[in-house]
Chain A
Amino acid sequence: MEREKLLEFRHVSKSFPGVKALEDINVDLYPGEVHILVGENGAGKSTLMKVLSGAYTATSGELIFEGKRIEKNSPHISEALGISMIYQELNLVPELSIASNIFLGHELKKGCFVDTRAQEKRAAELLNEIGIRVDPRTLVKNLGVGTQQMVEIAKALSKKAKVIVFDEPTSSLTDSEIQELFGIIRLLRERGVGMFYISHRLEELFKIGDRVTVLRDGRQILTDTIDHMTMESVIENIAGRKIENLFPHVRKEAGEPLLEIKSLSGDKFQDVSMTVRAGEIVGVSGLVGAGRTETARAAFGIDPYTSGEVYVCGKKLAKHNPERANKLGMCLLPEDRKLEGLALSLSIRENTVISSLRALNPTGIINDAKERREVQKSIDELEIATSTMDKLAKFLSGGTQQKVVIAKWLMSQSKVFIFDEPTRGIDVGAKSSIYQLMDDLVGRGAAILMISSDLTEIMGMSDRIYVMSGGTVVGELDQRQATQSDILQLAFSNV
């Protein structure tokens, strides 16, 4: 390529005490290019981007921006140069309007007063440029996640960004929102903005990427144009080993119905019926807000419902009583593991036994040796990557945390598992072992209901698929006959 490089990392290394986070990285970016960074969690993607934003200082190596070396970087300096970051966790202030958020930190002023009118006008122009029609006076707390992301992009544009870094921008967007985001990224590409894009969703890189850099353990494994790569080669390079089949699930003989939801109605869902048999993985697809999570929470007894019945292993569940559901062998693995699934400040061991304390210690006195033995058994069985069972849950990666949650429910003899977005924010290596684990579970006669917004996952793991839209089940498909577009059509049928 003859074009001038917009940005270049030259031999960048970064060490933290005891860890080499980045080692001799050489990555460059051209104007109008989407450069995708992939790698497992902890591979160094975010560290590299933090060196770019100035949050970290590289131990050695240099950063060249528009032909000039950035001598001493800091968040202020990189921002002034036109480098903007859009983080996975959106950084907007809920109580302020869209316009105030866009201009936060660089307000338009008239004397010493903020020129609200000019800000609103300019904000409207910026939003218009990226094709979003929303009143800039709207408070951000009233916006959906997708729109909030667009506001972040508008904010970057207001700072005349030349380089925009997207850190897992799609992890909480619905499919239509993702399409919208991609549209905007293409628009930015035409305008010559260079973009780094970090994602765990590999199918995305073929949709919008120009070049890909794979990082593993802080080293640059390869950088190449997207045409030279296939999904398999990317996965192989990320994992550093061959993953034969991301979805190992083999259809098994379906047995007795273990979970029956009959005509359940509540606030956000109406007349939902679902059945999951022993040995089955049943996917629940639909848009965010279609009532999937709400149905699951009600069925489990966390939230109340107005009518309908839930049976677990043939026994009727009481309303609003998750303890009883638990006792009957049902468990829910929530989407937000950090908030609902785990006690972060407790150890792996404490998290694992928390639902089986009575069974493990019938006398009420903690049997230390027995607990440790049982926990060790789970750790070995689930291949939980940890040096000790006394490690605190907050220090574990997303994939390992998910495994600890599963270990907890396995220990309490659960038979019916409801997974809500089981692999959100989990890297591909850990994903594959979670899928393996799910397959093992149904192999042992468990039943799994899997809520997922990831269509590849739904198609790869389910035997049957329920599609929900607008609070009702709009279709039930056999995986062998379903296509992704069937599911999408249904998902949009009742919005």
Chain B
Amino acid sequence: MNQQSQWRSRLDRIPGAAYIFLIVFAAASILVPRFFSVGNISTMLLQACTLTLLSVAMSLTLMMGSIDLSMGGVVSMCGVIMACIMRAGASAWLALPVGLIIGAVFGMFNGVMVTRLKIPAFIATFGSMGIAQSIANTISQERTVSWEVSPKTSLIDFLGNHALSVEMGTDASQTLTISNLLIITAVVVAVVWVLFRRTTLGSNIYALGANEETARLSGVSVTQWRIIVFVISGVLAALGGIVVMVRSNSVQPTIGSNLEFQACVAAVLGGNVMEGGKGSVPGAVLGALTLYTIRSAMSLMGIDTSWVQVVIGGVLVIGMLLNNYAASREKAGSLAALNRARADRAVGKGGVAK
């Protein structure tokens, strides 16, 4: 029985998002002719990089019972600022760190609004989304910003290169390509995950989301941790900005719009709930990959991209339903466990309590 329960607990630990992803992925592979090819899948993974970073950030903020709606705006803002710095002739080695720092500062701004000024995260980050987007629009004068390719910007080219390219056939769809961006994204996500699992970051985030009072009474510095998570979110959004910038070799000021919505959908698919205290980093990654699987499958089927939003909205609803279902099963399960424990105890006492 012990072994069985161990298996069960191991199964429990796999996020529900894994099943959704597998189902969607399998369905796409079977139903859409050109979907399951190394070429398409490597393109899809590359496209999913920005959203993966944002979904992980969104998942962290949701887990602690907040939300960060500003990330789309931060993607645009950081992208525009970095592009402008390079357009002015400065080196990419200057521009990228500046972008990341601005992301961090903006995250801190969000964190301070939520903790010190006690503005609800939904409102605070909604406001800062507007601020970030307006900064992007103003600086760029609402035009696409591009820069001159020169040795100074060779870092951008390097990031955009393929680290690995294997031709498995004559057709382009049979070429496996691993971009540097994909590797960087994977490394960043892995670092966040390790921080989450192996340092106090994870426990503190769960504690904040489950019950802020509990966290405070346990000696967790509530303000400090909230700000830290918003800073992480800001930095990940800035990284997302770098990814879109490298991929398109220019920055449109509205490049980040709507990304926060998709990140939210991905996080919910990954097991997050709006009340906080639940969710996981791998779940968020799988959520983002699920969305891109759908997107890629739809575009291969020749369905107009404007329909993608409709489908994503539907996916959000399905994700919510699945979360509710999981929660109700959990409740039933814990009651069963309670009864089992009671039965054990009663038997241990010879059946009668005095």
- The proximity string for A residues 92-130 relative to B, scoring 1 for CB distances below 8 Å and 0 otherwise, is 111110001000111101001110100000000000000
Question: Is A489 in contact with B352, judged by CB distance below 8 angstroms?
Answer: yes
Chain B: which residue is nearest A84 at the CB level?
Answer: B217
Question: Is B335 in contact with A114, judged by CB distance below 8 angstroms?
Answer: no
Q: How far does the Cβ of B159 sit from chain A's closest Cβ, in whole Å? A: 29
Question: Is A93 in contact with B217, judged by CB distance below 8 angstroms?
Answer: no
- Which residue of the partner chain, among A75, A114, A174, A485, contacts B199 with CB atoms under 8 Å? A114
- Does A33 reach chain B (CB closer than 8 Å)? no
Contact residues in B for A92 (Cβ distance below 8 Å): 214
Contact residues in A for B345 (Cβ distance below 8 Å): 176
**Given contact pairs A141-B330, A142-B334, A176-B346, A85 touches B207 in the complex (Cβ within 8 A):** no
**Contact-residue size bin, chain A (C-beta under 8 Å from the other chain):** 35 or more
Question: Is B203 in contact with A144, judged by CB distance below 8 angstroms?
Answer: no
In the complex, what distance in Å separates the CA atom of A288 from the CA atom of B215?
Answer: 29
- Does A79 reach chain B (CB closer than 8 Å)? yes
In the complex, what distance in Å separates the CA atom of A485 from the CA atom of B211?
Answer: 39
Contact residues in A for B211 (Cβ distance below 8 Å): 91, 93
- Which residue of the partner chain, among A109, A144, A493, contacts B341 with CB atoms under 8 Å? A144
Contact residues in B for A143 (Cβ distance below 8 Å): 334, 337
Question: Is B203 in contact with A100, judged by CB distance below 8 angstroms?
Answer: yes
In the complex, what distance in Å separates the CA atom of A286 from the CA atom of B345?
Answer: 15
In the complex, what distance in Å separates the CA atom of A179 from the CA atom of B343?
Answer: 16
- Does B278 reach chain A (CB closer than 8 Å)? yes
**Given contact pairs A106-B219, A144-B338, A176-B346, A493 touches B203 in the complex (Cβ within 8 A):** no
- The proximity string for B residues 187-220 relative to A, scoring 1 for CB distances below 8 Å and 0 otherwise, is 0000000000011100110110011011111111
- Which residue of the partner chain, among A75, A485, A493, contacts B351 with CB atoms under 8 Å? A493
Chain B: which residue is nearest A134 at the CB level?
Answer: B341
Contact residues in B for A179 (Cβ distance below 8 Å): 353
How many inter-chain residue pairs (CB < 8 Å) link A and B?
Answer: 97
**Given contact pairs A96-B203, A114-B199, A91 touches B352 in the complex (Cβ within 8 A):** no
- Does A308 reach chain B (CB closer than 8 Å)? no
Question: Is A95 in contact with B349, judged by CB distance below 8 angstroms?
Answer: no
In the complex, what distance in Å separates the CA atom of A104 from the CA atom of B351?
Answer: 36
Chain B: which residue is nearest A91 at the CB level?
Answer: B214
- The proximity string for A residues 128-165 relative to B, scoring 1 for CB distances below 8 Å and 0 otherwise, is 00000000000001111001000000010000000000
- Does B150 reach chain A (CB closer than 8 Å)? no
Question: Is B351 in contact with A492, judged by CB distance below 8 angstroms?
Answer: yes
- Does B33 reach chain A (CB closer than 8 Å)? no
Q: How far does the Cβ of B279 sit from chain A's closest Cβ, in whole Å? A: 9
Question: Is B343 in contact with A113, judged by CB distance below 8 angstroms?
Answer: no
Question: Is B207 in contact with A94, judged by CB distance below 8 angstroms?
Answer: no
- Does A289 reach chain B (CB closer than 8 Å)? yes
Question: Is B199 in contact with A112, judged by CB distance below 8 angstroms?
Answer: yes
- Does A246 reach chain B (CB closer than 8 Å)? no
Chain A: which residue is nearest B279 at the CB level?
Answer: A95
Question: Is A142 in contact with B333, judged by CB distance below 8 angstroms?
Answer: yes
> Is chain B's interface secondary structure helix, strand, loop, or mixed overall?
helix
Question: Is B207 in contact with A75, judged by CB distance below 8 angstroms?
Answer: no
Contact residues in A for B219 (Cβ distance below 8 Å): 75-76, 79, 104-106
In the complex, what distance in Å separates the CA atom of A144 from the CA atom of B277?
Answer: 19
Question: Is B342 in contact with A105, judged by CB distance below 8 angstroms?
Answer: no
In the complex, what distance in Å separates the CA atom of A78 from the CA atom of B21?
Answer: 48
- Does A62 reach chain B (CB closer than 8 Å)? no
- Does A175 reach chain B (CB closer than 8 Å)? yes
Question: Is A142 in contact with B337, judged by CB distance below 8 angstroms?
Answer: yes
**Given contact pairs A93-B207, A113-B198, A114-B203, A85 touches B334 in the complex (Cβ within 8 A):** no
- Does A359 reach chain B (CB closer than 8 Å)? no
Contact residues in B for A474 (Cβ distance below 8 Å): none
Question: Is A105 in contact with B278, judged by CB distance below 8 angstroms?
Answer: no
Contact residues in A for B309 (Cβ distance below 8 Å): none
Q: How far does the Cβ of B344 sit from chain A's closest Cβ, in whole Å? A: 9
Q: How far does the Cβ of A469 sit from chain B's closest Cβ, in whole Å? A: 10
Question: Is A113 in contact with B352, judged by CB distance below 8 angstroms?
Answer: no
Question: Is B203 in contact with A175, judged by CB distance below 8 angstroms?
Answer: no
Contact residues in B for A75 (Cβ distance below 8 Å): 216-217, 219
- Which residue of the partner chain, among B220, B335, B339, B346, contacts A492 with CB atoms under 8 Å? B346
Question: Is B210 in contact with A94, judged by CB distance below 8 angstroms?
Answer: yes
In the complex, what distance in Å separates the CA atom of A75 from the CA atom of B217?
Answer: 7
Question: Is A495 in contact with B203, judged by CB distance below 8 angstroms?
Answer: no
23 interchain pairs, CB-CB under 8 A: A79-B219, A87-B217, A93-B206, A93-B215, A95-B206, A96-B207, A104-B218, A104-B219, A105-B218, A106-B219, A142-B337, A144-B334, A144-B338, A144-B342, A155-B218, A176-B349, A179-B353, A287-B342, A485-B354, A488-B354, A492-B346, A492-B352, A495-B343
Binding site for A on B (CB under 8 A): 198-200, 203-204, 206-207, 210-211, 213-220, 277-278, 330, 333-335, 337-339, 341-343, 345-346, 349, 351-354
| 17 more A-B residue pairs beyond the given contacts A100-B203, A143-B334, A287-B342, with a C-beta to C-beta distance below 8 A | A75-B217, A75-B219, A76-B219, A92-B214, A94-B210, A95-B206, A95-B210, A96-B207, A104-B219, A105-B220, A142-B333, A155-B218, A175-B353, A176-B353, A488-B353, A492-B346, A492-B353
4 A-B pairs with least C-beta separation? A105-B219, A105-B218, A91-B214, A144-B338
